[in-house]
Amino acid sequence: MQITKKTIDQVDIRGKRVIIRVDFNVPLNDALQITDDSRIRAVIPTINHVVDEGAGVILCSHLGRPHGTVCPELSLAPVAKRLKRLLGKDVTFASDCTGPGVRNLASQLKPGDVLLLENLRFHPGEEANDVQFASDLASLGDVFINEAFGTAHRSHASTVGITKFVKTSAAGYLMKREVEYLEGAVENPVRPLVAILGGAKVSGKIGVIENLGKKVDKVIIGGGMAFTFLKAAGLGIGRSLIENAMLEFANGIQAHALERGVKFYLPVDCVVAASLDPGAETKIVPIQEIPEDWYGMDIGPASVKLFSLAVQNAKTILWNGPMGMFERDAFARGTQAMAHAVADAYALTVVGGGATALAVHDAGETENMSFISTGGGAALTLLEGASLPGLAALPDR
């Protein structure tokens, strides 16, 4: 499925200054070291293309949620160091993203030079999509390329507002791949199409469940959201996560899926914990036997076997959301087992970003997936069949 928006290949960038909105919102440890640089690596082909065309590169991104104030611990300085290593060339780091100093650095760019601006969200104008802030950003270059799929579902100055002030805008290689993989997997899949949906809450994925429910051949439900479906089916779930407001919706979704001949899978056993403390006692129980005061934390081994068999004959697999609280080793086995099962399936495998991408990385299966989205919220928006503001703002082909 081809993207309908103008892409970087259709734009003349030779000798120009190219502003690239990237998503360098990478995880940092307490020592402010990058723990996963996959989002940086994902846009290296686009940066290299612009450099090879003899253009100057101006990179802008956010990191974390500073809410319009300067937070030194959310500086993009560590990213500049990693980027220099990955590109194998010097990267100039600006101490701000607007102002006379930044304009001076941008004006001095020579063909092939790379400039990284400081965190956009240090300015309140970024998230407010402020006209002046967008205009200031646009004044730094001649061409705008949006590669920040992870923020494409936000109407911010650097994703939407800036397009009104530059003559030429287009999608980058990563944005193109994200849209083509995610939309293609839903709109024109090789069947059977299996959707694996997990994570904490049903309410966060209503649109995805409704949209995919009309198009998939099988639905597998795991994670915290599974307990809402189990409670809706009349089972006792102890003190597991529950959204009482979603019970009727869960029943309706399952009924509609079965009416359409869609196979609907829920866990048959789970790992439960006596409390939420890290050292609490755990055990594996059938879904019907969750103790009254215990918490469901992960799918159990029988569920892993059931779900793994369900994906074996798939030709397209969409996975969004972990199977349990995978951040804790005691509850990571279900998610890791599913990562191995999905990777081993002879299918096009599309992983919907965020926590799922991290779980796949932890399982050592990143290289064995067809495509891993760099955007959690943006991926969900596309899978709902909704429009992305950052994509909609770009001109059509």
Give the C-alpha separation, 252 to 242, whole Å: 17
Residue 1: is its pLDDT beyond 70? no
Tens of pLDDT, residues 246-283: 999 999 988 988 888 999 999 999 999 999 998 899 99
Residue 360: is its pLDDT beyond 70? yes
* Residue 70 pLDDT: 96
Tens of pLDDT, residues 148-206: 999 999 999 999 999 999 999 999 999 999 999 888 888 888 999 999 999 888 888 88
Closest CA to 169 of 315, 325, 19, 30: 19
Collect contacts of 186-190 with beta carbons under 8 A, ≥24 apart: 186/211, 186/212, 186/215, 186/318, 186/382, 186/383, 186/385, 187/1, 187/215, 188/1, 189/215, 189/315, 189/316, 189/348, 190/315, 190/316, 190/347, 190/348
To the nearest whole number, what is the mean pLDDT of the chain?
94
Residue 343: is its pLDDT beyond 70? yes
* CATH code matching the domain that covers 189-383, chosen among 3.40.50.80, 3.40.50.2000, 3.40.50.1260, 3.40.190.10: 3.40.50.1260
Q: How far is CA 173 from CA 131, 166, 168, 225, 244, in A?
A: 27, 19, 16, 34, 42
* Residue 202 pLDDT: 87
Closest CA to 62 of 32, 26, 89: 26
CATH fold for the domain made of 8-175? Rossmann fold (3.40.50)
* Residue 246 pLDDT: 92
Bridge partners of 271, per DSSP, are 284, 298
Instruction: Tell me, yes or no, if the two domains 8-175 and 189-383 fold the same way.
Output: yes
* Residue 96 pLDDT: 97
Q: Which of 5, 16, 21, 39 is labelled catalytic?
A: 39
Q: Which of 354, 375, 376, 390 is labelled catalytic?
A: 354
Tell how strand 269-273 and strand 282-286 pair up. Answer: antiparallel
Instruction: Using only the alpha carbons of the chain, give its radius of gyration.
Output: 22
Domain boundaries, the chain: 8-175, 189-383
354 is catalytic: yes
CB 365 within 8 Å of CB 306: no
Tens of pLDDT, residues 107-150: 999 999 999 999 999 999 999 999 999 999 999 999 999 999 99
201 is catalytic: yes
Q: Model's pTM, two decimal places?
A: 0.88
Tokens at residue 333, please? Answer: 């086995």
